[in-house]
């Protein structure tokens, strides 16, 4: 499995979901689709998933997740990025490139209007679950390591500082004003 195949799998899962905003359902469907693959392909999917998690480990995105979800711990940021992966490749790449583009997403508008958290914890275990279902064994230990890059030190400020967030993510911040 390569990155193209991974994203195709995610699009198939999205296409089968009754609600494309339901990250948990998309993740379950992706895992079920992945279960039909060879064990090595499942391991490849795990590597690709962690590569995407590392690529999206960016301070602007963390700040946006903090605003959208009303706070964002380390785990919360992982779950937010899991949700982002379920939104598909185009959305993922656009938002990783410019976190303020989250303001274009209907799910973010819904989160702003009704106070929903955008999380996709189940996304983080799609390969784990698929491998276990396909082989009866857990993923081999070395198949799920991740190396995060350093965060941009220019974003090293309190994400509760709405003024600084608004200056850097004006469109997202505007959706979540008090």
DSSP string, 44-110: HHHHHHHHHHHHT--HHHHHHHHHHHT---HHHHHHHHHHHHHT-HHHHHHHHH-GGGGGG-HHHHH
Asked if 148 and 40 touch (Cβ cutoff 8 Å), the reply is no
For position 141, what pLDDT does the model report?
Answer: 80
Q: Is the pLDDT of residue 144 over 90?
A: no
Alpha-carbon separation of residue 169 from 4, 40, 61, 83, 163 (angstroms): 30, 40, 10, 19, 10
32: closest CA among 56, 16, 48, 54?
16
CA–CA gap between residue 149 and residue 133 (Å, rounded):
32
pLDDT interval class at 23 (50, 70, 90): very high
- Binning the chain into helix, strand and coil, the percentages to the nearest 5 are 70, 0, 30
The token pair at 3 is 């990155």
Sign of dihedral through CA atoms 86, 87, 91, 96? negative
Query: Quick one: DSSP state of residue 139?
Result: P
The pTM of the full predicted model, rounded to 2 decimals, is: 0.95
CA–CA gap between residue 148 and residue 36 (Å, rounded):
30
For position 56, what pLDDT does the model report?
Answer: 98
Number of residues that make up the chain: 178
64-91 pLDDT tens trace: 999 999 999 999 999 999 999 999 999 9
Percent of the chain clearing pLDDT 70 (strictly above): 98
Q: Is the pLDDT of residue 143 over 80?
A: no
Percent of the chain clearing pLDDT 90 (strictly above): 85
Asked if 25 and 122 touch (Cβ cutoff 8 Å), the reply is no
Q: Which residue has the tokens 């967030």?
A: 165
């Amino acid at each position: 499995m390569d990155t193209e195949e991974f994203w195709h799998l995610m699009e198939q899962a999205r296409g089968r979901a009754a609600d494309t905003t339901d990250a948990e359902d998309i993740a379950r469907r992706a895992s079920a689709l992945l279960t039909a693959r060879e064990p090595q392909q499942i391991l490849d999917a795990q590597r690709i998933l962690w590569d995407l998690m590392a690529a999206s480990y960016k301070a602007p995105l963390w700040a946006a997740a903090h605003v959208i979800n009303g706070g964002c711990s380390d785990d919360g940021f992982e779950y937010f990025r899991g949700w982002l992966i379920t939104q598909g490749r185009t959305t993922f790449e656009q938002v990783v490139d410019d976190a303020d583009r989250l303001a274009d997403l209907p799910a973010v508008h819904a989160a702003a209007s009704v106070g929903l958290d955008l999380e996709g914890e189940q996304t983080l275990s799609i390969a784990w679950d698929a491998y276990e279902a396909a082989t009866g064994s857990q993923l081999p230990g070395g198949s799920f390591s991740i190396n995060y890059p350093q965060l941009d030190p220019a974003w090293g400020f309190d994400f509760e500082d709405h003024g600084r967030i608004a200056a850097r993510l004006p469109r997202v911040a505007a959706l979540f004003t008090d």
